């Protein structure tokens, strides 16, 4: 490696060539590409580091019979903005959780009559469980809706479920069991799957991204002491959220933001993942929808960095927070810088051999990441009781660069919005593409059959 040392110092004599600004860019890009690739593989493979990791992530089996007299009460918040196509089915699934002390609170905007009608149709069937909360805040967004409901929660525990989610029977019992098993636990984060794998071209990669995030990265970060919480299937002790003043009403990534603030407050967070008990939801319907979703998320990360709450963490957790919040940039660099490096090598006739070989380090790490992704798509197919197809493998491999181009465009869009002060909320549209049957039109018409979520393998109790 003496060649690299001499080259960096501009002392290379063989061809009388000194280091240029292009070479500096090359070295910096290679460094960032390597860091991004390595951190992705390390975090995303945590589940497989040790045999006992996966076991620790499993939900605890309920050991007591839950009854109305002794069971802790649980409230499920369901923020719903123009979700009339999917909300009714979600509320019915929640009401059929068979947990005795359960309150389901759909949060509806005061100007959203169609979604309110869908919520009321389920309230007609389950008047003792459904408590509709009207959100009169403006402008409308998810954190303001959650704050509207926070003051109305009368239970010690609550969770957040998105309006399009399919929630597995028996999940509430397992959530309460986790809180009962350890009184120091303040937050329990469950898993989420994207299940419409046959959707848009990016659906498989999007689903793999979610699986590795919830099944490996979040549990790893929970052990390290800091993680951005997920936007749903996340359960809290009500007191810990009230202590930090609820959600930031202007946060575009309200889940990650409150994760930072409760971490500063010393909250204990555990992550539980089980493929059977993961909440099912759909990926964005189009490339444009994916782009808008990621613009909001990435701008939300930039907001958190700018707010500097993370600076109140210990030094080690500050570094972890920065790596987490900058993950989109690191992923973008690791995926898209590599082709540029290889092109530079191909056209350059004077690049030292040592530096040429160094360029293959991030490439090998990215190949290891691709193996993880192929394994992940196989697991998702097995959860559907299907075999992985050649098409799935091809899409995972061929979508790497196009997907990261979309992510890169979203990064640029997020930076432009943040620098211009535009922090308006961009909502992801949901149509229930992950569901077998369409949503109800009017549930008060009970002449027809009631749809059950029939694709949860061995969920039960």
The enclosing domain of 36 has a CATH number of 3.90.550.10
Task: Give domain status of residue 3, yes or no.
Answer: yes
The answer to the question of residue 28 being in a domain is: yes
Q: Residue 14: what pLDDT?
A: 47
Residue 360 lies in a domain: yes
Residue 447 included in any domain? no
Quick one: pLDDT at residue 18? 60
445 within some domain: no
| Domain limits for position 183 | 1-431
**Any domain includes 59:** yes
Ramachandran region, residue 408 (left: φ > 0; alpha: ψ -120 to 50; beta: rest): alpha
User: For the segment 232-242, what is each residue's pLDDT rounded down to a tens digit?
Assistant: 999 999 999 99
Q: How far apart (Å, rounded) are the C-alpha atoms in residues 448 and 430?
A: 24
If you count DSSP H runs as helices and E runs as strands, how many of each does the chain have, helices first?
18, 9
- In a domain? residue 440: no
Per-residue model confidence as pLDDT tens digits over 10-59:
544 444 456 666 667 667 777 777 777 787 788 888 877 777 777 888 88
Number of structural domains (the chain) is 1
Q: Is the pLDDT of residue 250 over 60?
A: yes
Terminal CA-to-CA distance of the chain, rounded, Å?
A: 60
Q: What is the DSSP string of 412-450?
A: HHHHHHHHHT-----PPP---TTSSSPPPS-TT-TTSPP
pTM for this predicted structure: 0.83
- In this prediction, residue 143 carries a pLDDT of 92
Burial class (CB in 10 A: 0-12, 13-18, 19+), 448: exposed
Bridge partners (DSSP) listed for residue 237: 157
Asked whether residue 149 is domain-assigned, the answer is yes
């Amino acid at each position: 490696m003496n060649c690299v040392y001499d080259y960096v110092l501009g002392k290379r004599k063989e061809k009388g060539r000194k280091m240029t600004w292009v070479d500096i860019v090359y070295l910096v890009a290679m460094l960032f590409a390597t860091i991004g690739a390595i951190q992705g593989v390390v975090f995303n493979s945590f589940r497989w580091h040790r045999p006992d990791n996966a076991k620790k992530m499993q939900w605890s089996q309920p050991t007591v019979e839950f009854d109305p007299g002794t069971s802790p009460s649980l409230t499920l918040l369901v923020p719903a903005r123009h979700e009339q196509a999917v909300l009714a089915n979600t509320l019915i699934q929640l009401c059929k959780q068979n947990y005795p002390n359960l309150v389901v609170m759909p949060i509806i905007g005061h100007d959203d009559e169609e979604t309110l009608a869908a919520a009321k149709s389920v309230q007609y069937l389950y008047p003792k469980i459904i408590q509709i909360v009207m959100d009169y805040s403006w402008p409308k967004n998810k954190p303001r809706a959650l704050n509207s409901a926070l003051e109305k929660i009368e239970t010690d525990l609550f969770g957040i479920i998105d309006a399009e989610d399919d929630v597995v029977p028996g999940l509430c019992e397992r959530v309460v069991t986790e809180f009962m098993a350890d009184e120091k636990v303040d937050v329990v984060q469950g898993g989420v799957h994207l299940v419409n794998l046959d959707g848009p071209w990016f659906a498989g990669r999007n689903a793999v991204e979610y699986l590795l995030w919830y099944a490996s990265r979040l549990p790893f970060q929970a052990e390290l002491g800091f993680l951005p919480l997920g936007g749903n299937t996340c359960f809290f002790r009500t007191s810990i959220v009230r202590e930090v003043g609820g959600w930031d009403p202007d946060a575009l990534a309200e889940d990650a933001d409150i994760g930072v603030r409760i971490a500063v407050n010393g909250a204990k967070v555990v992550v539980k993942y089980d493929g059977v008990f993961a909440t099912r939801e759909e990926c964005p319907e189009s490339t444009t929808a994916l782009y808008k979703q990621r613009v909001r998320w990435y701008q939300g990360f930039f907001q958190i960095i700018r707010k500097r709450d993370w600076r109140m963490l210990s030094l080690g957790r500050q570094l972890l927070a920065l790596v987490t919040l900058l993950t989109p940039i690191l992923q973008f660099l690791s995926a898209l810088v590599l082709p540029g490096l290889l092109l530079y090598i191909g056209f350059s006739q004077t690049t030292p051999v040592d530096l040429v070989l160094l360029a293959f380090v991030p490439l090998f790490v990215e190949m290891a990441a691709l193996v993880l992704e192929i394994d992940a798509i196989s697991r998702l197919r097995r959860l559907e009781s299907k075999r992985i197809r050649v098409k799935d493998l091809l899409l995972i491999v061929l979508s790497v660069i196009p997907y990261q181009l979309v992510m890169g465009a979203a990064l640029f869009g997020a930076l432009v919005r943040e620098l211009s002060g535009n922090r308006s909320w961009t909502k992801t549209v949901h149509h229930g593409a992950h569901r077998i049957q369409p949503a109800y039109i009017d549930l008060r018409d009970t002449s027809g059959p009631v749809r059950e979520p029939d694709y949860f393998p061995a969920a039960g109790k």
